[in-house]
Amino acid sequence: MALSPSSSAQQARKALADRLAELCRDAGLTGRDIATRCGWHPSKSSRIMNARTPPSADDIQAWCRACGAEEQAVDLIASLRTAEGMWIGWRRMERAGLKQAQEARLPLFQRTRRFRSYSSWLVPGLIQTYGYTESVLRAVQRRRVEVDDVAEAVAVRMERQRVLYEGGRQFAFLIEESVLHNGLCGADALIGQLGHLLTVGSLPNVSLGVVPTGPARSRMPVEGFWIFDAEQVNVELVSGYLTLTQPSEVAAYADTFGELADLAVYGAAARELITAALHSLG
């Protein structure tokens, strides 16, 4: 399991380590006893119990056998998978192709009622056009994915956009002004994307804010992120996909979203920036 600086991931790892240590104590064993029974170096048990080394599924099964608590293994391995899922490297997440990675997010989008999205580099996926999405996912595929299923992945993302038009959902999108001028798609596709922003920004359940570029900001751009209801944050980083569920972390991103939202312009002012970007493309 890749180690992440996220306290959500760290707390999940620590909770698993504490449960393993408790099994050890309940069985009247020491860490050295566990290591002896499992055929490990004595320091391995200590590292696992102190959350310095994440156990594998095989380690958990061996630990439970050593403690006479084999019935606990399934639940503990499930906890391990949850902790691993908080931080997923791109290669692991996309090893079966981009279509599967896109499909994996569908249940989250379907159950969410309030979406908040901030992007400092690209138009958020829910409000991308087909051509813009195709260019973005093609660039991803060329860079890090061996399987070429871009067309299928684009179709999944387009299908996911249906949530925009289903009742009972609210969307707040924030993008940096630079997003209006940058893209991987070429001028024609970017023109189509900017026109789509003008359209989707008029939906009654959508708030579209543009954070103007300027020399005297009170809050600098940050990494792009999504907030799903008030329960979960997802962050796309260079190395992987981060899921945060700790209330303090979710609150920190919500506060950041609020600060950036205060800097943004909306309505006619946002449309003016989008239209200016369109004019700059001819």
Percent pLDDT > 90 in the chain is: 76
**Residue 140: how many CA atoms within 13 Å on its side-chain side?**
27
Residues 109 and 52 in one domain: no
Please state the domain count of the chain.
2
What pLDDT, on a 0 to 100 scale, did the predictor assign at position 7? 65
- Last residue in a domain, options 50, 85, 120: 85
What pLDDT, on a 0 to 100 scale, did the predictor assign at position 6? 57
**DSSP result, 95-107:** TT-HHHHHHTTHH
What average pLDDT does this structure show over 51-59? 91
Residue whose C-alpha is closest to residue 43's, from 66, 16, 35: 35
Residues 74 and 94 in one domain: no
Residues 202 and 126 in one domain: yes
Residues 65 and 167 in one domain: no
Q: What is the dihedral of CA 84, 89, 92, 94, to 10 degrees?
A: 130
Domain holding 96: CATH number? 3.30.870.10
What average pLDDT does this structure show over 130-138? 97
- Last residue in a domain, options 85, 102, 118: 85
* 1 in any annotated domain: no
Residues 79 and 195 in one domain: no
The pLDDT tens digits for 100-124 are 999 999 999 999 999 999 999 999 9
What pLDDT, on a 0 to 100 scale, did the predictor assign at position 78? 79
* 197 in any annotated domain: yes
Under the banding of pLDDT at 50, 70 and 90, the label for residue 59 is: very high
Residues 42 and 115 in one domain: no
Residues 24 and 63 in one domain: yes
Its pTM stands at 0.79
Domain holding 14: CATH number? 1.10.260.40
What average pLDDT does this structure show over 231-259? 90
Residues 257 and 124 in one domain: yes
Residues 18 and 135 in one domain: no
Q: Is the model's pLDDT at 13 over the cut of 80?
A: yes
What pLDDT, on a 0 to 100 scale, did the predictor assign at position 3? 45
**Residue 16: how many CA atoms within 13 Å on its side-chain side?**
31
Residues 199 and 61 in one domain: no
What residues contact residue 262 under an 8 Å CB cut-off, 6+ apart? none
The least confident of 7-16, 69-78, 112-121 is 7-16
Which structural domain, as residue segments, surrounds residue 185? 89-280
Residues 96 and 167 in one domain: yes
Q: Which two tokens stand for residue 58?
A: 């095989």
Amino acid at 104: A
Residues 24 and 157 in one domain: no
What average pLDDT does this structure show over 56-71? 95
Q: Which helix (H) or strand (E) holds 158?
A: helix 150-160
Please answer whether residues 128 and 193 qualify as being in contact, where contact means their C-beta atoms are separated by less than 8 angstroms: yes
* 2 in any annotated domain: no
The pLDDT tens digits for 160-198 are 999 999 889 999 999 999 999 998 889 999 999 999 999
Percent pLDDT > 70 in the chain is: 97
* 100 in any annotated domain: yes
- Last residue in a domain, options 85, 110, 142: 85
